Amino acid sequence: MVFDWHYAASLLVDVEFWKAAWLVVELSVATWVIGIVAGFMLALGKQSTFVPLRAACGAYIWLFRSLPLLVLLIFVYNLPQVLPWSGGVLSDPFWAGLIALSISETAYIAEIHRGGLLALNKGQLEAGRALGIGFVGLQRLIVLPQAFRVALPSLINEYITIVKLTSLVSVISLAEILLVGERLYTQNFKVLETMLAVSFYYVLIVTVFGHLLKLLEKRLDVTRRKHAVMIDVAAQPVSPADASAALANSAGARGAGRALEASGIHKRYGQHEVLKGIDLTVQAGEVVSIIGPSGSGKTSLIRTLNGLETLDDGEVRLHGRGFLQAAHRGKPQRGEYMRGILDIGMVFQNFNLFPHKTVLQNVTLAPRYHGRLTGSALDADCMQLLAKVGMAAHAHKYPHQLSGGQQQRVAIARALAMQPSIVLFDEPTSALDPELVQEVLKVIEQLARDGMTMIIVTHEIKFAFRISDRVVFMEGGRILSDGPPVELAKQKTSRIASFLQDVHIA
């Protein structure tokens, strides 16, 4: 039989084929979107600490990844025989096909999302929690944008798979591309010509939507952006006086009163007790540095002070009011916790800036989320903070475009944006190259001069002795000494003297 090229070409403008192609687009896009939304919720459920929820989500994924789509399509389409009330929807092949495809694809897409979630750095969640952002806000503002970008290449591939899987819907008499082709070649027996046209429509859909989704992937990948995107606020000059005022507003004023009290703090990881009854009081306006050998419990202590680590025993109070306590002492009131977490800024060792947001967006995120300020007023205030830490010129860059020292200065501005009365620093310079350390230390020193209450975990011993009102020495999960720097420097025979022997304090 001679191949009929004229007939094959005529099928490329056939109205029924184009209607079927549009139906495939509707079905595949709807399935993909439903699968992305439902799959993300399923992926979160599979990672939940609530065992029944985790088990249920895992069972769903196991079942519908194991069940052939063809079987599921026939089952869903014939379900009204068992459940007559479902006939109004499931008797329509489009809706039956969409439901079956969505049920099946959600299981596959959930695993793609789970890969994206596992790729997310734990520090991103901790940074969000330290800013007082709730679970839903974390998912919406931090987790989903980053996890979706990581998962997008696989999600694009899954969309292409969905387009091809729509051909199976022909078994329930939905007039998609393959069924239209089958009807034609059963009439004229021109199988090859018809299948060539069917292939053309599938390739066309995959090519067009594949290209559009690749553009979306490129648009979301901020690491490809080499230049900052400028907005109007960049043109607004920030005077040194305004910048100083911004920092003064953020700094806790020196004065009488206890800013923070930690009493009887115990913390264990399994059988290892890392904090063994820590008592620490910090007065308003004080700068307290915590030093000691690695493994002494310094970081664990500072992470318990703002709730990033739970307490096994003891409590933390802010300005004389309850904030955190061990679980066996009862759960603190939500209002007390939120009031406290917003009053404590946190600067992390590894910066933990949000990579999908610009410098300015990083700093404005928490105030906007908590409704402190909005619009241009918020941008102006945060630009003043960025000016104070020397980062105003970089406000519209992304974190990957900055050096480590610049990222840490942005992290300090972000911590100050909620105007906390206390700022915690967890080894703020340990992840920096030596030449970048000083630019961060200068910012912290300026905060000390402006009266900010600070607790600093650091290995920069000279710096700690220079700016601190008190230096706390820890070892083995205990505080061995707590006093003015001059007193610690005078100790000649203690373990502290041994630790400081190679450090020239003067």
* pTM for this entry: 0.84
Query: For 471, phi and psi rounded to 5 degrees?
Result: -120, 130
Low-confidence ranges of the chain (pLDDT < 70): 1, 226-256, 330-333, 492-493, 502-506
Residue 245: per-residue pLDDT: 52
pLDDT, tens digit (0-9, with 9 covering 90-100), for 322-357 = 899 887 776 666 777 888 899 999 999 999 999 999
Residue 504: per-residue pLDDT: 59
CATH number of 240-499: 3.40.50.300
User: Where are the domain boundaries for CATH 1.10.3720.10 in the chain?
Assistant: 5-220
Residue 505: per-residue pLDDT: 60
pLDDT, tens digit (0-9, with 9 covering 90-100), for 412-471 = 999 999 999 999 999 998 888 887 888 899 999 999 999 999 999 998 888 999 899 999
CA-angle at 488, arms to 473 and 260, nearest 5°? 50
Residue 234: per-residue pLDDT: 42
Which among 150, 140, 155 has a CA at the least distance from the CA of 36?
155
What's the token pair of residue 167? 């051909």
User: Where are the domain boundaries for CATH 3.40.50.300 in the chain?
Assistant: 240-499
Fold classified for 5-220: MetI-like fold (1.10.3720)
Residue 253: per-residue pLDDT: 44
Annotate 134-184 with DSSP letters as a single string: -HHHHIIIIIHHHHHHHHHHHHHHHHHHHHHHGGGGGGGT---HHHHHHHH
Asked if 372 contacts 345 with a C-beta cutoff of 8 angstroms, the reply is no
Which residues are CB-neighbours of 312 under 8 A, at least 6 positions away? 266, 267, 268, 326
Residue 466, exposed/middle/buried by CB under 10 A (0-12, 13-18, 19+)? middle
